[in-house]
Structure 1
Amino acid sequence: MSSGMCVSLNTGAQMPLLGLGTYKLMGAEAVFQAVDAALAAGYRSFDSAAVYRNEADLGRALKELLPKYGLTREDVFITSKLGPKDQGAGAMEGALRSLSELDMCWIDLYLIHWPGTQGLEVTDQRNPDNRAASWAALEELHVQGKLKAIGVSNYTPAHMRALMKSCKVPPALLQVEFHPRLGQPELRALCTKFGVFFQAYTSLARGELFSDPVVLEVAKACNRTPAQVLLRWAVQQNIGVLPKSSSPERIKTNATIFDFFLSDEDMNKLSSLDCGQRFCWDPSHVV
């Protein structure tokens, strides 16, 4: 499916390790330019969400650009996510709206974006019930073939354990913030135990790690950019990455991570930066 490496999800589906993140990629022209550059650079996976408000633009861009590269819908892997406002009773409608916005017959991977519910306090005891209702709706659409794989995002170990106890269809993937300063060891161990693929967002720590002395040292030693080193550190551990960029040049550079290796020493240097630092929201307070 991709010029990069693929992994097998627990559904049997093949998913590229590298995908293009589209958070904050707004407007038809910006989405089109990014998708065009990504397809040219070998990306075959694209990550969107209802709250990104770009599903329709992504769907249109792919419909127009796939023929240019001799590709069909089957050649790309599309991920989207259920908005927190649709958590619970609105989940079925929310997922179907994503399908409609993308203008696709199926979505390869659909995630519950957040363990909480828009409009409810994080401590509200309705949150667990809403998550369970959302999952039941996604399971139904999975059985119908409209969502080829289903998973979750921003779940904590407690959320994961609860889901694994109650689900009929196990999640195929967990997508969370992950980079050298946030190693998520407990979540990774749980995913390994449950056969759930672990995927990173914010792999580049919003650029904050580009000036980290350890990252710079490793990048200089292997003649790569800090971004390439951070992405390579993840994929070398069989962890999926979704770097977002609107720059065609950076999109191309970020894809060049499968033609070099980091030494064990360099991998350990980067891993030792783990201090639990987050650059995004913290889901640990959601009951």
Structure 2
Amino acid sequence: MTDALHSVRLNTGSPMPLLGLGTFRLRGPEETQRTVDAALTAGYRSFDTAAVYRNEAEIGQALRELLPRHGLTRADVFITSKLGPRDHGSRARDACQRSLEELGLDYIDLYLIHWPGTQALPVEDGRNPANRAQSWAVLEEFYRSGRFRAIGVSNYTAEHLRQLLGACEVPPAVLQVEFHPKLAQRELRAACAQADVCFQAYSSLGTGLLLSDPVVLEVARRCGRTPAQVLLRWAVQQGVPVLPKSCHPSRVQENSQLFDFELSEEDMARLSSLDCGEKFCWNPSSVA
């Protein structure tokens, strides 16, 4: 069961943990098993993968082997995967089914459209909105059948989100985007709050570049915590779920220690003052 104190409730009524393990670049059965084992030991109950990560099968296999060892069942974990940009439109149905098969699951807790554009199409191509709409209709089909317990999107701008909300039959449960003190995403967060869409963060550490920021270091010294813990806590203290990724068991453990301390109002304000709209990852704003 998901700890209610350390989770958010989606618009589907189901809880989603505030802390999940990001698995981008996690490859190979040995590394995957070691990392998933460390995460389960540290208390992670949410695992985020994607078709483009090419590790769905390895994640699924690791969970099947490790859950019984930790006294857990499938119902104790929250699994997220995503539709790849190459599979928008007419390929979406096969891709969704493939994710289920790769993971070896009867259902996926949350399935996202990974990117608003279609691979190999120019970002300004007018077919992108139509492909997104066709893909979303397939996700709705899988949601209604119970194969996806919740559906959502990733890397959508406020405009992409408005387009989706204006046309969908099943509203998205989650929007997953880059979020950290230098990219506070105020417009997106407001749009999500208004539409009852859970705003979820990735790249909370700014691809590692924020770990050496002077303000982050100062707050970490004052708290007696690591810079990574401070950055992650800044998000979860605002009710934003996070997905730190690491293949090092010690860092996986370190990143889980977010719920036994609080940042002061002053420290939260100091970190928030860093907002300058800087993106360290992909920029979807030019996608039609």
Q: What is the match of residue 20 of structure 1?
A: 21
Q: Deviations over 1:138-177 (max 9, x none)?
A: 0000000000000000000000000000000000000000
Q: What is the match of residue 61 of structure 1?
A: 62
Give the 3-state SS of the residue equivalent to 1:199 in structure 2.
strand
The residue correspondences of 1:97-246 to structure 2 (distance < 5 A) are 97-246=98-247
Give the 3-state SS of the residue equivalent to 2:112 in structure 1.
strand
Give the 3-state SS of the residue equivalent to 1:85 in structure 2.
helix
Structure 2 counterpart of 1:236, one-letter code? Q
Structure 1 counterpart of 2:106, one-letter code? C
How far the C-alpha of 1:104 sits from its partner, in A, is 0.2
Q: What is the match of residue 37 of structure 1?
A: 38
Q: What is the match of residue 254 of structure 1?
A: 255
How far the C-alpha of 1:6 sits from its partner, in A, is 1.0
Cα pair 2:35 2:249 within 8 Å, conserved: yes
Give the 3-state SS of the residue equivalent to 1:60 in structure 2.
helix
Q: 1-side partners of 2:166 and 2:29: how far apart?
A: 41
Segments of structure 1 that go 5 or more residues without pairing to the other structure are none
Q: Deviations over 1:67-121 (max 9, x none)?
A: 0010000000000000001011111111110000000000000000000001100
Give the alignment's TM-score, normalised by structure 1.
0.99
Segments of structure 2 that go 5 or more residues without pairing to the other structure are none
Q: 2-side partners of 1:272 and 1:95: how far apart?
A: 40
Identity among equivalent pairs (%): 65
How far the C-alpha of 1:2 sits from its partner, in A, is 4.3
Q: 2-side partners of 1:163 and 1:68: how far apart?
A: 41
Give the alignment's TM-score, normalised by structure 2.
0.99
Q: What is the match of residue 90 of structure 2?
A: 89
Q: 1-side partners of 2:223 and 2:29: how far apart?
A: 37
Structure 2 counterpart of 1:189, one-letter code? A
Cα pair 2:123 2:287 within 8 Å, conserved: yes
How far the C-alpha of 1:206 sits from its partner, in A, is 1.2
Cα pair 2:2 2:15 within 8 Å, conserved: no
Give the 3-state SS of the residue equivalent to 1:107 in structure 2.
coil
Q: 2-side partners of 1:186 and 1:249: how far apart?
A: 35
RMSD: 0.7
Q: 1-side partners of 2:210 and 2:56: how far apart?
A: 29
Q: Deviations over 1:33-68 (max 9, x none)?
A: 110000000000000000000000000000000000
Give the 3-state SS of the residue equivalent to 1:165 in structure 2.
helix
Q: 1-side partners of 2:26 and 2:130: how far apart?
A: 32
Q: Deviations over 1:241-264 (max 9, x none)?
A: 000000000000100000000011
Q: 1-side partners of 2:245 and 2:211: how far apart?
A: 15
Cα pair 1:2 1:42 within 8 Å, conserved: no
